[in-house]
Copies of this chain bind each other. A is one copy, B any other.
Amino acid sequence: MATIRDVALKAGVGIGTVSRMMNGTGYVSDDTRKKIMDAVEALGYRPNELARNLSQNRSGIIGVMVPELTHPFFSTLTKYIETELYKRGYRCMICDVDDKPSRVEEFLELLQRNVMDGLITCVDKNETIPEIHRAIVAMDRDWGKNIPIVRSDHVKGAQLAAEIFIEEGCKKVLQFAPRTDYPMPFVARNVVLEKTLRENGIEVLTVQTDPLKMGMRYHESLSAKCAHYFGIVDGIFASDLVAAHCMKVAHQQGINVPRELKIVGYDGLFFTELLSPTLATVCQDIPEIAHCCVETVIKQINGGKHIPKEQVIDVSLRPGGSVERYRNKLR
């Protein structure tokens, strides 16, 4: 089995450098980091967890809390988090909160009792939860002033979507947006979309959604409940799952997508490429979000300094036949 010495030798760096990177205890340049990760991959190197756990009172486990694991965004994110944790010698314990706030408290209790060394949370903080002095990273959520956030560039995401509606000549766009009393990072995308569209003379209708509900049936009921709008708007902006349900309901009403109704999704989930037409969507870079969450939580565990309060991951637009500009190029 490969040792840290073998990795250092193959990467052409010192053992201390490899150790610094693995434990996140000091600066390592991107170039060196890549060399080390390539060597780790090539040699199948795994840090010796047992020794580390014994000497450092660690479990080698990181918890991942998700609102709903059947949601493809969170299952994909969990997959990449698990893979990134594995590369660094950590194991992944999951908690599917499923709209049960008591599960959040109980999982945090496990963190307090050293069952886990750190936590990546993708769910909302309950107000009753006290401040916790352990390694925690919040993915697209706000858990208070000492807890770093990793999130997508929702401002850019909203601008990419807005550009499409403007170029397509839309007059009235329906957006699905989390309740406005809900100050989470992802709310920005709806604020920016609305502002940009209005500045361009486009009317915006907003349907408020419950950000705590992530199940399939909720998304389905949401699109069904808003079906009366589909004949009076010419654009829809929604998360991929809601957008897909809207497209289905529009088909059932005999409304042509994209000729009469342009739909732009948000997330970039796999199934949007299977729809007919395919869905144009703003893709979140899930592997990079996972990578950043894992790096950050491990840095915290190792007492790293200068962890940024917020790390913002780039987004991109995936073309799809649900808007006219791509209709002839894609189905």
A residues lining the B interface (CB < 8 Å): 1, 44, 46-50, 53, 57-59, 61, 68-70, 72, 75-76, 78-79, 82-83, 86, 91-96, 98, 102-103, 106, 109-110, 112-115, 133, 216, 244-245, 247-248, 251-252, 270-271, 273-276, 331
Q: Contact check, B44 vs A216: say whether CB atoms are below 8 A apart.
A: no
Q: Which residues of B contact A247 (CB under 8 A)?
A: 274, 276
Q: Which residues of B contact A91 (CB under 8 A)?
A: 93, 95, 110, 115
Q: Which residues of B contact A96 (CB under 8 A)?
A: 79, 82-83
Q: Contact check, B113 vs A48: say whether CB atoms are below 8 A apart.
A: yes
Nearest opposing residue in chain B for A112, CB measure: B46
Q: Contact check, B50 vs A114: say whether CB atoms are below 8 A apart.
A: yes
Q: How far is the CA of A78 from the CA of B70 in the complex (A)?
A: 9
Known A-B contacts: A69-B75, A69-B82, A274-B275. Give 18 more (CB < 8 A). A1-B112, A46-B106, A46-B113, A48-B114, A49-B115, A50-B114, A50-B115, A70-B72, A70-B76, A79-B96, A82-B95, A83-B98, A86-B95, A91-B115, A92-B93, A93-B93, A251-B331, A271-B274
Q: Contact check, A50 vs B59: say whether CB atoms are below 8 A apart.
A: yes
Given contacts A1-B133, A276-B251, contact A72 B69 (CB under 8 A): no
Q: Contact check, A244 vs B1: say whether CB atoms are below 8 A apart.
A: no
Q: Which residues of B contact A102 (CB under 8 A)?
A: 44
Q: Which residues of B contact A79 (CB under 8 A)?
A: 68-70, 96, 98
What is the CB-to-nearest-CB distance from A318 to chain B, in angstroms, rounded to a whole number? 14
Q: How far is the CA of A103 from the CA of B83 in the complex (A)?
A: 10
Q: How far is the CA of A247 from the CA of B271 in the complex (A)?
A: 13
Q: Which residues of B contact A274 (CB under 8 A)?
A: 244-245, 247-248, 271, 274-275
What is the CB-to-nearest-CB distance from A129 to chain B, in angstroms, rounded to a whole number? 15
Q: How far is the CA of A244 from the CA of B244 in the complex (A)?
A: 15
Q: Contact check, A49 vs B113: say whether CB atoms are below 8 A apart.
A: yes
- Among the listed B57, B92, B273, which residue makes an inter-chain contact with A94, where contact means beta carbons less than 8 Å apart? B92
